[in-house]
Amino acid sequence: MLWILLISLSLYQQLTDTKQYAEKIATRQAEMFFDHIVLINKWNASHGGVYVPITETTQPNPYLSIPDRDIETTDGKQLTLINPAHMTRQLAEMSGESNIAFHLTDFHPVRVESRPDQWEAEALLAFQRGQKSVSGIGTINGQSFYRYMAPLHVVQSCIVCHQQQGYKEGDIRGGISVSIPSASIDAFVNERLEHLTITHAIVACIGLIVLLLSYLAQARLSQRLDKAKSRMQLAYLDSLTLLPNRRYYDAFVKREWKRALRHQYPISMIMIDIDFFKLYNDNLGHIEGDHCLRQVAKTMKRFFRRPGDLIARYGGEEFCVVAACDAEQIMVLAEILRKAVENMRLPHPASKVSPFVTISLGAASIVPSDDESFESLLHSADQALYDAKATGRNRVGKYRN
């Protein structure tokens, strides 16, 4: 979903940029066309107008009141003066034959054809507020156009024709609007948009395929890792009690002994034995015996949360605890375990110390030194367990030197 969202955002951004770029192209094209018209106007104005033959389509300008507007050549040909504005209007009428149309308009048009439409009128007001040009998309006769308009300023050569209107040099006397049909650029835009859409669709599909393949590969790898982890856990877990087994215990105690030796802190051990477990099996059967082992293991396991502590099945009905704590703390922990098992209230009809299943524990603690090994701690805890059994069971024995 994130990939699709990113591709969609990219497509939307590029589509928007393309449309804006198309509008910029149209605006720039209109600017150049406008500059070209203004240049033609300047050329005409620099010559004070241009005389052309009077024809059916080119009649004397009734709005041009100057001497010598109409003259006759020596050979009798009738000529009339075409001023810049009149020439621009004639060119505007001819522009209908091309894709680009333009219109000359002003604030107070004398000619009907020079009246501004709504878009041009708003542009003229914008020029009065100091805006240099106006561009955008508008509608003419129901068709969409890219539109551009810039003002026309009165220059010295224009005063002769427009002085009766009260204009002075530098005034804005109107503007020329340039209109480019949207259809002439939309074809390019639509082609570009189609290419962008297809490209993004291809990229999206390729990305989805790659993501799918990556997901499948990751899923397969995770499955293999889970299987490997399960095999590893099975290798180090007792299948009956789900506690760490003797193999894990051996690796753990070697690592913890080295760490305690390096940092010189005490390490402690508890050896645990279920009281009269053989009689339990003989009376209730091995299935109940297995259930008893699982219950005792589950009960004691609840008290071990620190990564530096371990409770493991040592063998048969024996368990062992290894913890990074001192002699006082290990005795407290041992007593907690003894009470927790007794409070299970699991019936033991053949026990000689209680009607319920109980445990005997032997605790020992030592600060490791170079001339000792973990076996010495194990021996001490085992001796303490022997003392607990010898003195009545269901109790904690403490090793004493």
Residues serving a catalytic function are 317
**How would you class 338 by CB atoms within 10 Å of its CB: exposed for 0-12, middle for 13-18, buried for 19 or more?**
buried
Question: In whole angstroms, what is the distance from residue 269 CA to residue 259 CA?
Answer: 15
CA distances from residue 25 to 15, 18, 134, 136, 184 in whole angstroms, order as listed = 15, 10, 15, 12, 12
Closest residue by Cα to residue 383 from 364, 368, 369, 358: 364
Answer yes or no: are the C-beta atoms of 68 and 161 closer than 8 Å: no
User: Strand locations in 69-165, DSSP E?
Assistant: 70-72, 78-82, 101-105, 134-140, 143-153
Question: In whole angstroms, what is the distance from residue 376 CA to residue 235 CA?
Answer: 27
Q: Which amino acid is at 149?
A: M
Answer yes or no: are the C-beta atoms of 261 and 324 closer than 8 Å: no
Q: How far is CA 21 from the centre of its chain?
A: 27
Token couple for 129: 């507020």
